[in-house]
Amino acid sequence: MGSDGAQGLAGFVSLMGGDRSLRVEESLGEGFVRLRVAEAERRQAKHDVRCVEDAVIEMLRNSRDAGATHVYVATSREGDLRTTVVLDDGSGVPDDMRERVFEARVTSKLESFHMDRWGVHGRGMALYSIRENAVSAEVVSSGRGLGASIRVVTDARSLPERADQSSWPVLGRDDDGSQACVRGPHNIVRTCCEFALEERGRCEVYLGSPAEIAATARARVAPSVGPAELVFMDGLSGLPVLERLSAAADAAELCVVAASLGLDMSERTAHRIVSGQVRPVPSVLSRLTSAGDAPGRREVDLMRDRRSLRVSREDVEEFSRVMERDFALLGERYYLDLASEPRVSVGRGRITVTFDLLDGD
């Protein structure tokens, strides 16, 4: 072999070894290796989000944890590509953090994290997991104290979704009749409904097409400044994200503002919104609890649940930590390990604690 060939082979081997060294911390023999932290996180992130509905719930939880009280979800699909835009009135993302929030272990919840029905939130892995599984994920517009607009594009060939994305679920009661629950296909609509039901009284959720969401935010969220101040503003980017749509003066400006938030639409569609042809949508919770004309659907009085036992979130989280410490008794005697913190649910005349164990226990 000539010197050029030898150098080429050496370069190839070096490249392969270099790639392996980026992923592997130590070779243990017999085909076993110890992965580097970054590679292990990447694989874990792939596992965290297995379908589009998983990505949607993570984005909703992200908005909630940012202190949002109103969340607007716009979703549409063209071919195999689905675009989902989540707009909220939360604390927002500083300009210098727009890319870094998608990195592993980046979180604003150093002193606390959220345990809910979907598990632990606050590890700094949610947005990272979404980007690892998506075609693209970006903070389209935000700012400290301005809320945020995050757009995610997914490919159904690599990140599946439920075939039925149009059916609305039905609100009913759980098996013992103590709490309201959602029944129906596990699609994006049900995901939003379950979240809205879980967070009722704290976070309102709206779901629709980009045009419907633009029309809804335009109708429901008034600018916090008056018309005279708007005239002298250098663009609308200084307003909170959700206020910009209603501040647009005409269809042309609405089209531009919507695009700046990730809501792509034609000027013709913008004209239809301004003229009132595209009507605002009700919140998913109000639609879910309204009997309407749907066959088999009955109205459910959520006030029954509100009259049941109520425990503050802080006390629930503290009680969960106490249960985790006490679980050590069984853990030591029967070699059991918890997969996550105990989940505490409060219902009518009942407090339930669920301990999820690691596989194999």
Q: Domain spans of the chain?
A: 45-220+281-306, 313-354
Alpha-carbon gap, residue 322 to 303, rounded angstroms = 30
Tell me what pLDDT residue 11 has: 41
In this predicted structure, what is the pLDDT of residue 173?
76
Q: What is the 3-state secondary structure (H, E, C) of the chain?
A: CCHHHHHHHHHHHHHHHHHHHHHEEEEEECCEEEECHHHHHHHHHHHHCCCHHHHHHHHHHHHHHCCCCEEEEEEEEECCEEEEEEEECCCCCCHHHCCHHHCCCCCCCCCCCEEECCEEECCCCHHHHHHHHCCEEEEEEECCCCCEEEEEEEECCCCCCCCCCCCCCEEEECCCCCCEEEECCCCHHHHHHHHHHHCCCCCEEEEECHHHHHHHHHHHCCCCCCHHHHHCCCCCCCCCHHHHHHHCCCHHHHHHHHHHCCCCCCHHHHHHHHCCCCCCCCCHHHHHHCCCCCCCCCCCCCHHHHCCCCCCHHHHHHHHHHHHHHHHHHHHHHCCCECCCCEEEEECCEEEEECCECCCC
Long-range pairs, 254-257, Cβ under 8 A, ≥24? 254/214, 254/218
Q: Could you tell me which CATH class the domain 45-220+281-306 is placed in? A: alpha beta
Place of tokens 């080429």: 8
Q: Give the pLDDT of the chain (361 residues) as one tens digit per residue.
A: 444 444 443 443 333 344 667 777 777 676 666 767 777 666 665 668 899 999 999 999 999 999 999 999 999 999 999 999 999 999 999 998 899 889 877 777 655 566 677 776 666 778 989 999 999 999 999 999 999 999 999 999 999 999 999 999 988 777 666 677 888 899 999 999 999 999 998 999 999 999 999 999 999 998 776 665 665 566 788 899 999 999 998 999 999 999 999 999 999 999 999 999 999 999 999 998 874 444 444 444 443 444 456 677 777 778 888 888 888 888 888 888 888 888 888 776 678 889 888 876 5
Q: Are 241 and 149 in contact (CB under 8 A)?
A: yes
Q: Could you tell me which of 157, 161, 158, 140 has the C-alpha nearest to residue 149?
A: 140
Spatial contact of 139 and 150, defined as CB atoms under 8 Å apart? yes
Contact status, residue 253 vs residue 225, Cβ threshold 8 Å? no
Contact 170, 184 (CB under 8 A): yes
CA angle 111, 316, 55 (to 5 degrees): 65
Q: Residue 346's pLDDT is what?
A: 76
This prediction's pTM = 0.72
